Amino acid sequence: MGEFRMPSLGADMDEGTLVEWRVSVGDHVDRGDIVASVETDKSVIDVEVFETGTIQELLVEPGTRVAVGTALARIGDAAAEDEPSEPDVPAHTEPPEPAAPPEPVTSTPPAGSTPDAAPGEPIAPPVTPPTEAPAPAHPHVVVGEGPVRRHASLMRSPLVRHLAEQLHVDPDRLRGTGPGGRITRHDVEHAAATTRRASPRARRRGIELGIDVDDLTGTGVDGAVCERDVVAAASAAEPAAPAPAPSQAADGMRAAIARTMERSNREIPHYHLSATVDLNPLTEWLAEINAERPPAERILPAAAIMRACALAAAKVTDLNGEWRDGAAVTSKQVHLGVLVSLRSGGLIVPVIRDAHERSVEEMMTALTDVVERSRRGSLRSSELSGATITLSNLGDRGVDEVLGVIPPPQLAIVGVGKIAARPMVVDGAVVARDSAVFTLGADHRASDGRTGSRFLRQIESLLANPTRL
Amino acid sequence: MADDAMELLRLALRRVAPEVDLDDVDHDADLLDELDLDSMDFLTLVGELHQRSGVEIPEADYAQMGSVSAVVGYLQSRQG
């Protein structure tokens, strides 16, 4: 009935590596279920399927790097038409097709047209057709044959799963030796005894530097492998060359960010505006409510700022959407991209959907959650696409002004500088007030400065009355 | 006692900055700069410290936690 194709997990993403299948042939899947883990330059992402049906065939083997748009699996109706395996159909000969509804873009179209595209749908692939996918060694992989790993939860009993947790064994890395590839207690124990634990940062650095972290001796907590172990191993491997500084090492993430920045500067004529916003009302209000709350319930200014941005974007819609085929496609629904810095360097931009509908408290919960999962590398594919506007790093420490670069194909990016006490004039006198400089970078094809300043003024007036946010 | 507080900080830090080795950083330098923490990280750290030690740590006290030494001192003075 349909083909599940490699989605684009970022504006600059052209290809990804299928790390593992999370389903098997014959499994029923609902729209939104995780079917595969895909590794991009930035992270390993849990990829969701956008059709409900039954997995008929898995077309690509784990470990294969495939271009965006490559068919990965065939999904049929539950009452499957029995299609016998077709002869080799290498995915790259087919033009990329959107999976179901005609609109492949995840951001919701303007009111009046078709209802929301499903969260998991890919952004339309870039104009140039995807590069040829490497022909998989076995185009059709059927369960029971070949090295495909199965959906972990089918394979492990609760006891085995619990043991894996206790021994800090990553179940996704296990290969089962039991009947039908089942993961046994022995497999878990063996893995615990022989596999090195490594921090996510170490693993990422390992990918960048071409070091297998499982081969290393760790100097971190409980013998875990940390980043410095990886860097040390990389420099030990090349005694003649100076140890590569982490920022210079062949770096997938850096390259991906570079591509996005290049594309943005090349394609989007930016204009920038800025406004200094009095945040005293906000910081006073937060101090009051946070005084009564334990740390886990406290609200950061960031949450209120996100709320204000989302509301402003829902109102000034010329800044909320995408540039597509020569025109702005805007919406009243706000899916807010939030820049998160990763500790190893680099950025990732998870998307908080329907941000305009979330209260400040809900925003705080969502923010805490995506930041944690961004750093852990466990974001879902639906969280990496579909932003209608982006909020840049809530640079609470660094600089006064953040002049952002719009992630294509969006129409705007909001920057917020450091919140600090600054002299402001109130009733003719100079007083110290908390403030921050808000900036807007916007696509001049889609809006003019007048619209941009309306947007910033909206934010300003929303934040002047934080209790009404 | 200082050791306990330091150990507590070490454990709490694993949640926000797992790759940081407290023995490798300047204990008197600005905490956020030295450990590369943003406001979300700091709040998470405070939460961990609170959960593990029972110490209250209201927002008003954040100013007393400006460095590793300061945090250790603060925790020490408030632990039972």
**Percent of chain A at pLDDT exceeding 90:** 37
Closest chain A CA to residue B39? A396
Residue A465 φ/ψ, nearest 5 degrees: -125, 70
Who wins on pLDDT, A164 or A30?
A30
Q: Is B36 on the interface with A (CB under 8 A)?
A: yes
- Cβ-nearest to A295 among B33, B36, B43: B43
> What is the model's pTM?
0.65
Chain B contact set for A398 (CB, 8 A): none
* ipTM surpassing 0.85: yes
Q: Is A374:A351 a contact under the CB 8 Å cutoff?
A: no
Closest chain A CA to residue B47? A295
Q: Is A406:A264 a contact under the CB 8 Å cutoff?
A: yes
Record: contact A298-B18, CB cut-off 8 A: no
Cα A406 to Cα A413: distance, rounded to the nearest angstrom: 5
Most distant CA atoms of chain A, gap in Å: 82
Amino acid found at A296: A
Chain B contact set for A300 (CB, 8 A): 39-40, 43
pLDDT of residue A126: 38
Q: Which stretches in chain B have pLDDT values below 50?
A: none
pLDDT of residue A40: 80
CA distances from A231 to A47, A221, A226, A253 (A): 30, 17, 9, 17
The helix/strand count (H/E) of chain A reads as 10, 19
Q: Which residue has the tokens 């590596």?
A: A17
**pLDDT of A461 strictly over 90:** yes
Closest chain B CA to residue A419? B39
**pLDDT of A144 strictly over 70:** no
Query: What are the pLDDT digits (tens) for A77-108?
Result: 754 444 444 444 343 433 333 333 333 333 33
Strand ranges (E), A325-387: 327-330, 336-338, 340-341, 347-348, 351-352
Strand ranges (E), A287-369: 321-324, 327-330, 336-338, 340-341, 347-348, 351-352
Confidence class of residue A166 from pLDDT cuts 50, 70 and 90? low
Spell out the residues 6+ positions from residue A184 whose beta carbon is closer than 8 angstroms to its own.
Answer: A160, A176, A177, A178
* SS3 of residue A213 by DSSP: helix
- Cβ-nearest to A199 among B19, B39, B47: B19
Query: What are the pLDDT digits (tens) for A393-415?
Result: 666 667 888 888 999 999 999 99
